[in-house]
Structure 1
Amino acid sequence: MNILFLGGIFSEGDKDNISQNSKGSMQYAADTLQKNYITGFSQNDSVNAISVISLPFIGAYPKRYKNLFYRPVTVRESLGCATVLNVGFFNLTIFKNLHKTILAIKSILAEMKVNPSQPHFLVCYSMHLPFLLACYVVKRVKRDTHLCIIVPDLPEYMAVRKGLAKFIFHLLSLMSYSIVNRADSIVAITREMLNKFDEGIKKIVIEGIADNRYISIPEVVQRKKYFLYTGTLDRRYGIRNLLDSYIGSGVDDYELFICGDGDDRKYVEGVVATGAKVKYFGQLDRDSVLTLQRNAALLINPRDNNSEFTKYSFPSKIIEYMSSGVPVLMYRLDGIPEDYYDFCYLIPRGDDGLKIKLLELSKLSDNQFISKGESAKKFIVENKMPDMQVAKLLDIFKGNDHV
């Protein structure tokens, strides 16, 4: 089978250029998940060819990106067994989405002409409306194409909006759902997500995929004395709870390291300015983040289960954290399958749960930390690698059982 993957990755040639021109956070988690899907397709013998059409997920000019046009350094390149077409576009706020839609349609149809006699499986990453509109048009033109939508996030939970903006995005969200419900198959990251879409569509849950490159890095001989959070600095994701709990816990033997960006960045910087044993590194490139993770004593996900969106969310950092061989501390969340919880430390319920657990874990020996981390990494290697996870999706393409 031929796979056409429509998404927005950061290619190797463009990654530094995009980073230098971006204002604010970059979507590294989305970039990693897409590449892990592409790797999974590449590793499966039933896939004959993989073409990736990439219009990167970057901020719009002028508020979130320095350039009015996105121009890729390399138009065509390889990613494993896949051929990547990097597509440039007009990056002005609002207008960029219309341009991306038109370019995606043209690019998909052009790629289909390369192997016209072969059945095509069009995989669309995310409920990004320009991508959905492009896939809808292609599906109308090429009715025998199997359209699969990967849904890592639901649009209504991606940001907090008010007033007119909330109303407009609600209408756009309804349009997005309408298109997804016309797809042939859907990949969701939690079971609760499946209930958001019509019956009769082939559905499957793939909560996340491990990164082969990260798994293969040699183990660290000696861990350093710090706890670490990497990710979005947003009150919804628990960053204030983490900082307040760490300071209130009285933990003395371990520093707290934070890296990332988001709406609560000033709160983090304010805590650092008080002289607390907290270090803030800003938003780092992925390699630097992974190095920090592998050298830490403990990795923390402070997102709690008090918001409705947790039913529709699997934090991508959980698999990344567990892949490092470093133990993970987190809350029990509705969107995380039960089989994960045997391989991490759980935060007890209650306002002081995180504070109490941090102090408790700070008294453990290095060997206890190492043992817990190794068991988590083994679980990921045996269950969540790209070939294993993507094989579930390919079973749907072959007409086998589905959720």
Structure 2
Amino acid sequence: MSMSKSPALLLGFTIPDAVARPIFAADPLPAVQTHNFAWSLAHALGSAHDRIYLLSTDPVQNYPLVPQKWFAARSFVENGIEGRTIAFANLMILKHLTRFISCLAALPQIRRWQIHSIYIHGVHSPFLLFGALLALFGYRVVPVLTDPPGIILPTDGKISTLLKRVDRKITRALIRRTTAIVALAPELARPFADTLPVLVVPGILNGRWVERIQSFGKARIQSPPGKRPVVLYAGGLVAAYGVDRLIDAATLLPDIDFLFYGKGNQVVRLENSAAPNISYRGFANSAQLAEAMRDASILINPRPSNADFAVQSFPSKLIEYLATGRTVLTTRIRSIPSDLANCFDYIDDETPAGIADAIQRALIKPESKHDVLAHIEALYGEQAVGAWLAALANDRTPRGSFS
């Protein structure tokens, strides 16, 4: 791999774990996958550039969903990477304004770091506006598109929903003013592929996640005799992700245990369920999840395949699921790349009965002896993605480009 010699900046949501934990505990829909991906991206960039710096904001929902109105700036060093967070007011509209002003205030620090390339995590308009301005002054600016702009969350009110629709148009215009694009799904990149270089990569396998998985030893190929099968779901516990259908499917399979981890609008239903095979395990840390996943029979993703955001995003937890070596059952979302397609079992009928049937079929199917973890690391490990990013930084067409 030819590493770019110029230092790079990751502008986004990469904060220390110790800072993230209390934030996630307070947030009804914590940005855990955003946090995990942020560090994977930072490590991949670290292997693509001779030095990487972080300029980050705390990934939180607006007050009062998160009961903190002001977040102060602070410096940190995490995993050997120097960074600082920016100050902002955690209030609607003011959040975007103060984050943009804080980016402008960070310009002297960016100059001291001697930055030439700036990667922007996500479709956050204050960051994209800052990036578009820097592009005018000759900086190389690369947005990393993880989701479509302006996703409406279950916690969004009418005003927030309206503002997000306006923001969606703004962010698309700003993306067109950047230098190149990294996208987690082809559909995210399609509107820009005619004018900008594009790298499509569905996710990055987090190195720390691999270490946690491997610390539990080799996964059992079969469950011990007499042990009930376990289906595990971890992530946003919201109806938009198909969790309501999965709960209904669980009631049809009383001889199979279902474990749910996370937060969302389906928690009340899970907590009030009378089904003895349904267990809500709350919000767990990575070590707890890794151990639970290695003990599960099936890891499941019931996300409806016909939802707009399912076409324009790839659930990063699917890569984490695969790394455990367990059977991974998912709906046929169109963002699944061809080089991972054979690693999954599929839900073809997304009704509760269809999900239940797919679970039963997956349980009787022989386990694959293919080393899925090695396959995923070779394709989407931090070093592999770093090589593609280095090619993009050096103005070469990287493997995995949009076509």
TM, length-normalised to structure 2: 0.88
Bigger mean CA deviation after superposition, 213-222 or 258-267: 213-222
- CA distance in structure 1 between the partners assigned to 2:113 and 2:24 by the alignment: 35
1:113 maps onto 2:114 in alignment: no
Change (3 A) 1:48 1:233: same
**Secondary structure, aligned partner of 1:48:** coil
Deviations 1:254-313 (A, max 9, x none): 310001111222222232xx1331100122223322222122121011113122332211
1:176 maps onto 2:151 in alignment: no
Instruction: Please list every run of 5 or more consecutive structure 1 residues that lacks an aligned counterpart in the other structure.
Output: none
**Secondary structure, aligned partner of 1:209:** coil
Q: How does 1:4-403 map to 2 (within 5 A)?
A: 4-20=9-25, 22-44=26-48, 47-61=49-63, 63-71=64-72, 75-80=75-80, 82-107=81-106, 109-116=107-114, 120-140=116-136, 143-159=137-153, 165-197=160-192, 199-216=194-211, 217-218=214-215, 219-220=217-218, 222=220, 225-248=229-252, 250-252=253-255, 254-271=256-273, 274-349=274-349, 351=351, 352-363=353-364, 368-369=366-367, 371=368, 375-401=371-397, 402-403=401-402
Bigger mean CA deviation after superposition, 160-169 or 226-235: 160-169
- CA distance in structure 2 between the partners assigned to 1:51 and 1:197 by the alignment: 27
**Secondary structure, aligned partner of 2:283:** coil
Deviations 1:42-68 (A, max 9, x none): 224xx222110011111222x122222
**Secondary structure, aligned partner of 2:332:** coil
Q: For the Cα contact (< 8 Å) 1:53–1:87, is it kept in 2? A: yes
Q: Which amino acid aligns with 1:357?
A: A
**Secondary structure, aligned partner of 2:233:** strand
- CA distance in structure 1 between the partners assigned to 2:350 and 2:184 by the alignment: 27
CA RMSD of aligned residues (A): 2.3
- CA distance in structure 2 between the partners assigned to 1:168 and 1:198 by the alignment: 27
Change (3 A) 1:99 1:164: closer
Change (3 A) 1:133 1:231: same
Q: For the Cα contact (< 8 Å) 1:343–1:375, is it kept in 2? A: no
- CA distance in structure 2 between the partners assigned to 1:98 and 1:157 by the alignment: 19
**Secondary structure, aligned partner of 1:182:** coil
Q: Which amino acid aligns with 2:84?
A: L
Count of paired positions? 383
Partner of 2:3: none
**Secondary structure, aligned partner of 1:229:** strand
- CA distance in structure 1 between the partners assigned to 2:231 and 2:374 by the alignment: 21
Q: For the Cα contact (< 8 Å) 2:15–2:85, is it kept in 1? A: no
- CA distance in structure 1 between the partners assigned to 2:317 and 2:355 by the alignment: 18
Instruction: Please list every run of 5 or more consecutive structure 2 residues that lacks an aligned counterpart in the other structure.
Output: 1-5
- CA distance in structure 1 between the partners assigned to 2:350 and 2:131 by the alignment: 46
Deviations 1:226-268 (A, max 9, x none): 21000111212110111111221x351x310001111222222
TM, length-normalised to structure 1: 0.88
Q: Which amino acid aligns with 2:316?
A: S
Q: For the Cα contact (< 8 Å) 2:55–2:84, is it kept in 1? A: yes
**Secondary structure, aligned partner of 1:75:** strand
